[in-house]
Amino acid sequence: MQTTEALQQPKSSPVTNSSDDQEWTEVIRPQTGLFDLRLDEVWRYRDLIMLFVRRDFVSTYKQTILGPIWFFIQPLLTTLTYVIIFGNIAKISTDNMPQLLFYMAGITIWNYFAISLTSVSTVFTANAAIFGKVYFPRLTMPLSIVLSNLVRFGIQLGLFLAIWVYYLATDSRVHPNWVIILIPLLIVVMAVLSLGLGMIFSALTTKYRDLAMLLVFGVQLFMYATPIIYPLSRVPAKYQWLILANPMTSIVETFRYAFMGSGTFNWLYVAYSSAVSLIILMVGILIFNKVQKSFTDTV
């Protein structure tokens, strides 16, 4: 006859789920204030920014016949149109500079600024579905737009440089100078300005949708307040202060002066554009930071 012995097991201690004993890869906390920017978090998501850059660049001309060739066609056709209309029909002076090179310089600079501004301004409305499903620092999205457009700008800058080299070898009116080393600074200032303005408008368009249409119209008008189709020297003296108040004016003029030796270069103007761009960027980040917490309720 077999006997069954009861097996005695030691009582297990209660399981504790204290958060102090666990390490989390991501902790989402509410923002504590307007100046809680969390830029370190944006830096940790730099790989995501690069993925957004690749997505924006690839998807722009996906399923198109000519693909990236449009990067060359658009500025070329625009430049030729300006040469015919403003250079030959309207007879607007280019300060004795080759018309093709003069207009191409302005268009190359302006295209990057205008496209970056309008793209960033719709970041909330265009990406509302993504923002509502997964968490990531919202600031990565406008940053990726500015960087992806920088790739496009680099391609168009290469086209401008090819035309510039041709005129440098065949036209004695082209005189590059040491200011050319400031080109990276001009690009950064222009990117900062477009990013700041874009984030301001992106925050406003979450509540007022018609501002997006107003911005497209406003950018077109803003171009005429920038010396794209005319040199600053041809603006009457009593109106020059108004044109110089535009931070894009010194960027365009310095760009032309660097490559062609014609234009207006002044350290004070460059410093003004840089300061205004930084102020606008800070204001844009603060407004963007405030709106991102509740934009899903209004979009």
Is position 3 within any domain?
A: no
Q: What pTM was computed for the model?
A: 0.82
> How many folded domains does the chain comprise?
1
d(CA 272, CA 284): 18
Nearest 10 degrees: Cα torsion 230, 234, 236, 240: 60
pLDDT digits (tens, 9 = 90+) for 281-296: 999 988 888 776 665 5
pLDDT for position 5 = 42
Is position 5 within any domain?
A: no
d(CA 293, CA 7): 58
pLDDT for position 1 = 44
Written as one letter, the residue type at 34 is L
Is position 2 within any domain?
A: no
Is position 47 within any domain?
A: yes
Question: Does residue 42 contact residue 140 with C-beta atoms inside 8 Å?
Answer: yes
Question: Does residue 105 contact residue 153 with C-beta atoms inside 8 Å?
Answer: no
The whole-angstrom distance between residue 290's C-alpha and the CA centroid of its chain comes to 20
Is position 287 within any domain?
A: yes
pLDDT digits (tens, 9 = 90+) for 204-227: 887 777 777 788 888 988 999 999
Domain region containing 144: 38-297
Per-run averaged pLDDT (10 residues), the chain, 299 residues: 44 48 58 59 80 78 66 88 92 90 94 92 77 75 90 91 94 91 95 93 80 84 92 90 94 95 90 96 87 59
Nearest to 85 by CA among 219, 220, 222, 229: 229
pLDDT for position 16 = 47
| Burial class, 168, CB count within 10 angstroms (exposed 0-12 / middle 13-18 / buried 19+) | middle
Question: Does residue 244 contact residue 269 with C-beta atoms inside 8 Å?
Answer: yes
Is position 17 within any domain?
A: no
Is position 214 within any domain?
A: yes
State the DSSP string of the chain.
---PPPPP-PPPPPP---GGG---S-------STT---HHHHHHTHHHHHHHHHHHHHHHTTT-SSGGGHHHHHHHHHHHHHIIIIIIIS----TTS-HHHHHHHHHHHHHHHHHHHHHHTTHHHHTHHHHTTS---TTHHHHHHHHHHHHHHHHHHHHHHHHHHHHHHH-TT----GGGGGHHHHHHHHHHHHHHHHHHHHHHHTT-THHHHHHHHHHHHHHHTTTTSS-GGGS-HHHHHHHHTSHHHHHHHHHHHHHHS-S---HHHHHHHHHHHHHHHHHHHHHHHHHTTTGGGT-
Is position 264 within any domain?
A: yes
pLDDT for position 138 = 78
